[in-house]
Amino acid sequence: MAGLAAAPTAQDSASRKPWLIAHRGASAYAPENTVPAFRLAADQGADFVEFDLQLTKDRQIVCLHDNSLERTTDVEDVFPDRFRSERNTKRWMLEDFTLAEIKRLDAGVWFDAKFRGTRIPTFAETIDALRGRSGLFIELKTPERYEGIERLILAELEAKGLARPGADARTPVLLQSFTASSLQILSTLGTKLPVHFLVNARDAQQWLTPDGLTKVKAFATGISPEKTALLNQPDAIARVKQRGFLVTPYTFRASAVSGFPDVRAEMAHYLGLGVNGVITDNPDQMPRSTKSERPASN
């Protein structure tokens, strides 16, 4: 396993190797946001495992990317009548189910039959599975749907002894979200943990400008931009790092490579441009060298 990073800061980033951040665990090889994917990511050397947190009906924190359950569980079979109809589409919304009901769902068989019986993990179960093996790269997913989720997440980290930078050198913690107001709430609550602002390519023109970065500085220590946003703004990495931010672009996956021979070459290119880490579905494909590689010609 790769040496684990200490609590990340912009000030000491220059002396650290780039971070390998496993997106929803080793999600190319195991069902996303589940303990098998988290453990495999740690086995593959991930410095951090990225995962998404949301709330159940009874306000329990669980790992799930989508707001609804039908894509990654068998909820349609277990609770066939518990859907909402939205634009002629049936959706089984997480917020309509208690934790006990969620724990009845199979969250693995959709990916591969060998993962049958895998369950959606709670935040506490995720921490227990990764503690001492990998850092926690925690995304607050659509926090505007869950009033008070920021306080609940910080309380769980406090209960686990992880609410402060450096509390456990083998399990560093970082928080991130696409929702600026949620990160501002974290700041108001007084967290000293590093916080990253997720920025998609559409919004990069707003947030990666000098004025935008000045605003972000009030509530974040790093930027996690959609990778194409950095290609569209060649000077963006230097500009962001000059402001003291760490840069950890997303998402690198072998199943969706464009303009490069493979995902390893794609990650090497970005690492060669000076990013602080990469968020990838394929942690085993992290290149050993950070030398920039040219995109493949068309």
Are residues 92 and 82 in contact, defined by beta-carbon separation less than 8 angstroms?
Answer: yes
Q: Please enumerate in sequence order all residues whose Cβ is within 8 A of that of 72, keeping only pairs 6 or more positions apart, or say none.
A: 31, 32, 33, 64, 65, 66, 107, 110, 111
> Looking at 4, 23, 185, 197, which residue is catalytic?
23
Could you tell me how many helices (H) and strands (E) the chain has, helices first?
11, 11
What whole-number distance in Å separates Cα of residue 136 and Cα of residue 163?
12
The Cβ of residue 217 has, within 10 Å, a number of other Cβ atoms equal to 13
Q: Which residues pair with 63 in a beta bridge?
A: 53
Question: Is 253 exposed, middle or buried (CB count within 10 Å of its CB: 0-12, 13-18, 19+)?
Answer: middle
Three-state SS for 151? helix
Clarify whether 65 is annotated catalytic: yes
- Helix spans in the chain (H): 35-43, 75-78, 99-102, 123-130, 149-159, 180-188, 204-207, 210-216, 227-232, 236-242, 263-272
Residue 59 corresponds to which tokens in the numbers above?
A: 């306000």
Clarify whether 23 is annotated catalytic: yes
Q: How far is CA 7 from the centre of its chain?
A: 16
What whole-number distance in Å separates Cα of residue 200 and Cα of residue 228?
9
Residue 73 corresponds to which tokens in the numbers above?
A: 């569980």
> Looking at 13, 36, 63, 65, which residue is catalytic?
65
Are residues 45 and 26 in contact, defined by beta-carbon separation less than 8 angstroms?
Answer: no
> Catalytic residue positions?
23, 65
